[in-house]
Amino acid sequence: MSSFISIFMLLLPTVVLGMVPRAAPIFAAALGENIDQSAGTLNLGVEGMMLLGTIIGFVIDFKTGDFVLAFIVAGLASALLALLHGIATISFKVDQVTSGTAIWFIGWGLSGFIYSSLFGKASSPPAVKTIPTLYIPHLTDIPYIGKLLFGQDPVVYALFITFLVAQYFLFHTKAGLNLRTVGEDPLVAEIMGVNPDLYRYFALIFGGFMAGVGGAYITLSLVGSFYFDMTAGMGFIAVALVYFGKWNPLRVLIGSLVFGAVYVLYLALETYFPTTPYQFFSMFPYIATLILIILVGARAHAPAALALPYIKEG
C-alpha cells in the first residue's frame, strides 16, 4: 500500500499536467452535449460526430497544413451530421435514441471509409505535426500552476473561452433561459413566444460542431495521426459526463478534468506495473464512468422534456 502511495505521489505532477489535454476532447463534446440536452435533445450520435471530426480534421490538416481550418471544417462536418439528427428528431419526431444510434453508425463508418479511401491500408500511418503549445510569456513561470494554466495549446484556450461564454449564456441571458425552458417544457416555451424547434436545431448544431472539434483534437493534438475508432467510447463518456454535471457546464468541466486524470493515470500505471495485464488498466475509464454515473444516479434532475419530441397539439 505504501508503495502504491509513493507511486501516486510520483505520478501526481504527470497527471496534473497531462490531464488538461486529455480532458479537452471529452469536454468539447460534453459541453456541446450539455447545450443539446438543456434544450431537450438527447444526442447519442456524439460518438459518430467525434469520429467524423477525427478524420476530417486529420485530412484537412494533412492536405493544407492549416490546423485552424482543420478544426473548423471538422466542426462543420459534424454539425452537418447533427443537422441530420435534428431533421429526424425535431422535424420528423423520430425517437431520439434510434436516430442517435443511426448517426453514430454513419459517422463511425465514414471515418474508417474516408481514411481507407484516401490513404489505403498503409503499414505506416501518415502523420501530421501536432498543434504547437502556446506558452504565455511570464505567466508560465508561476510555480505549480503556471504551466498548467498558461502552457496549453491554443485550442484549449479557445475551449475555455467557449466554456465561459456557454456558462454565461445558459444561466445569465434571456436566450439561455429560453433554451432551458424548451428543455423543460416546450409548450410553455411556445406560449412565451419562443420557437422550440429553432432552439433545438441551434443547440444540436452547436453540439455537433463541438463534437467535431473534440474529435479533431484527438488526431491533431493528442496523437498526430489517425487510427480506426480512435475515440473508443469517448463520445458516450461525454454523454455520461453531462449527467454527472447535472446539466451545468462548470460541473461538466470538473468531471472532464477528472476523466483526463483517469486517462493519464492509466497510461502511466501501465508502465509502472508491466506485469499486470494492460487490459485491466485500459478498462479504467469505462469503470470510472460506471462509478461516476452510480454516484449521480437518480438524484440527477434531467430537463423534463429530455428525449421527448415536441408535437404540437391539434
Q: Which is nearer to other proteins, 73 or 106 (CB)?
A: 106
**Residue 161 CB coordination number (10 Å):** 10
Instruction: Please state, as a whole number, how many other Cβ atoms lie within 10 Å of the Cβ of residue 50.
Output: 37
Question: Which residue's CB is nearer to other proteins, number 112 or number 146?
Answer: 112
d(C-alpha 217, C-alpha 291), whole Å: 26
Q: Count residues contacting other proteins (CB under 8 A)? A: 50
Shortest separation between residue 153's beta carbon and other proteins, angstroms: 27
Contact pick of 32, 48, 86, 303 for other proteins (by CB under 8 A): 48
- Report, in Å, the least distance between residue 294 CB and other proteins: 5
Q: Which of 44, 90, 131, 268 binds other proteins (CB under 8 A)?
A: 44
Cell 433554451: give the residue: 179
Q: Which grid cell is 173?
A: 441571458
Q: State the DSSP code for 301.
A: -
Set of cell numbers at residue 80: 452537418
| 311 vs 72: CA distance, rounded Å | 34
| Residue 275: CB minimum distance to other proteins, A | 12
Q: Pick the binder of other proteins from 233, 251, 254, 266 (CB under 8 A).
A: 233
Residue 243 binds other proteins (CB under 8 A): yes
What track of x and - describes contact with other proteins for positions 281 through 300 (by CB under 8 A)? -xx--xx-xx--xx-xxx--
Single out the residue of 13, 60, 29 nearest to residue 241, CA to CA. Answer: 29
Q: Which lies closer to other proteins via its Cβ, residue 105 or residue 171?
A: 105
End-to-end CA distance of the chain: 66
Cell 501501465 locates to 270
Determine if 236 is a binding residue for other proteins (CB under 8 A).
yes
Side chain identity at residue 112, one-letter code: G
Tell me the C-alpha distance between 32 and 203, whole Å.
8
| Residue among 298, 312, 16, 42 nearest 146 (CA) | 16
**d(Cα 54, Cα 70) in Å, to the nearest integer?**
10
Q: Which is nearer to other proteins, 106 or 257 (CB)?
A: 106
Classify residue 222 by its DSSP letter: I
When the beta carbons of 151 and 183 are compared against other proteins, the nearer one is 183
Interactions with other proteins, residue window 80-119 (CB under 8 A): 84, 88, 92-95, 97-99, 101-117
Question: According to the binding rule CB under 8 A, does residue 63 interact with other proteins?
Answer: no
For other proteins, the closer of residues 67 and 115 by Cβ is 115
Half-sphere exposure of 88 (CA within 13 A, CB side): 21
In the bound complex, what is the minimum distance in angstroms from residue 39's beta carbon to other proteins? 18
Residue 228 interacting with other proteins (CB under 8 A): yes
User: Which parts of this chain interact with other proteins (CB under 8 A)?
Assistant: 44, 48, 84, 88, 92-95, 97-99, 101-117, 228-229, 232-233, 236, 239-240, 243, 277, 279-280, 282-283, 286-287, 289-290, 293-294, 296-298
